Structure 1
Amino acid sequence: MAARTRGQAVAQQLLDDITSGVFEQGSKLPPERELMTRYGVGRNSLREAVQSLVATGVLDVRAGAGTTVQMIDGSSAITQSFTAAMLQDAAVGEILELRVLLEADAAARAAERAEESELQEIRATLAAYQDAVRRNEDLYARDVAFHRAIAAGAHNRLYLSVIDTTAQLLERFMRAAHHTPADVKAAAQEHALIAHHVLLGDAESAAAAMRAHLVSSNERRNRRDEAASPREADSFPANP
């Protein structure tokens, strides 16, 4: 795992101050210069820290309104847990294990609960992913969109919170990853199988297909890490 940047370290300090009540929920953060002095950093590092917490819903920034500490509900509590884990460089494997459990269940529930508009979104995001594969374009956003469409069909916003948070926190690792044409082809086939079972309303098979996809993705990642140089192995690849 790559070493923490100064911005990540400051984000952890800021998150600690928020969770301990130094900066209360619903309050405005102090001016930028005051925060720079408090944490002993420059403007760029502070802004990196703030943006990382904005991305995970801990902070909210609006033009002319400053930066507000968000209120904590069940969803943002999960978000904060992920944020803290990533800022501490927790093992990626632990987050992947949780996603296997949650996304397999989300796929099953989507097969049972998804409405026609949500099924259409699953079809559309799968088609966009497959089109990007054919065109050899960036797959990251399409991959996230597909998994998000499945989670939306489950009608449980906490599933969406997990996907959104992990996608944002891991983006720089995922985009830096190298994946082979065989990996991409396998992931595309796995996506299609997941969608097939969800669209058929087969909850058990949808869960099994999602679980197999995420486990296979992790196995492909591990194989690449073993073959990579030490520097290359610091990057966390996306699905595939």
Structure 2
Amino acid sequence: MKIEKANRVSLVDQVVLQMEELIESGVWEVGTRLPPEMELMEQFGVSRNTLREAVRALVHSGLLQTRQGSGTSVCSSSILGAVIERRLYKSDLLETLEVRHALEREAARLAAVRRSEEDVRQLRMHMEACLQASRDQDNRAYAEADIRLHQAVANAAHNRLLIDLYHHMTDALHSSVRNLVELAPNMDVHQRIHGKLVDGIVTQNEEQAAEAVNEYMAHLKEVLTTSLEES
């Protein structure tokens, strides 16, 4: 990706926007350490003060983090993701499940209407991964496959905003979602619901797809409630 030299109008904002694009496009991936200050000043064609102000703005927004002795690095793939992660940190898991429920139910409905043949292939592939993990009695692999299956449902909705919201939410909650699925002792219940969900999307049955999400979330909430009572 070519970095353009900023002009004299809103220099800081221009540098911020270009840095955001470098991050969101994946040129600067999460964990990437930014190039030296002098190199960035030359690339963007700005002064040290302008560059530092832009970096401070991105640190404040949650895209970058600065650590003494380690320099500045990328800590989130988008501002939306950083904002969601900060908000989720203040919410309990039950509240988060309720929001996931709303997003996934609508995603399932839209997927049933809009899914493509490639979406169907992806759903069946992740469904098979869940089945294999279940046969192997590998809870961790099952949890990972479960997350990918539900992300594939969101992708099949073909609504970019919904996809971004859902993916950032599950990225931020990855470990919590994985642990929650691992707490569920009966994979057969998951598999039955997954089958109903995927079949509803493949056959373009909106109500069946949405009802499968309702069942899935009710099951997870029951697991969570039981876990909290036992702890």
SS in structure 1 opposite 2:147? Answer: helix
Q: Distance in 2 between matches of 1:173 and 1:207?
A: 23
1:180 positional shift: 4.6
1:166 aligns to 2:169 (yes or no): yes
Counterpart residue number, 1:104: 105
Percent of pairs with identical residues = 22
Q: Distance in 1 between matches of 2:154 and 2:87?
A: 22
Q: Distance in 1 between matches of 2:199 and 2:179?
A: 30
Q: Distance in 2 between matches of 1:100 and 1:175?
A: 16
1:113 aligns to 2:118 (yes or no): no
Counterpart residue number, 2:83: 81
Contact 1:107 1:198 in 2 (8 A): yes
Contact 1:109 1:154 in 2 (8 A): yes
**RMSD of equivalent CA atoms:** 3.0
Residue 213 (structure 2) aligned to one of 210, 213, 222 = 210
Residue 183 (structure 2) aligned to one of 179, 182, 190 = 179
Q: Distance in 2 between matches of 1:139 and 1:207?
A: 22
TM-score with structure 2 setting the length: 0.65
Counterpart residue number, 1:24: 57
- Structure 1: gaps of 5 or more residues: 1-19, 59-75, 230-240
- Letter of the 1:82 partner, please give it: I
Q: Distance in 2 between matches of 1:197 and 1:117?
A: 16
Counterpart residue number, 1:192: 195
Contact 1:118 1:153 in 2 (8 A): yes
1:161 positional shift: 2.0
Counterpart residue number, 2:144: 141
Higher RCO, Cα 8 Å, sep 6+: 1
Counterpart residue number, 1:73: none
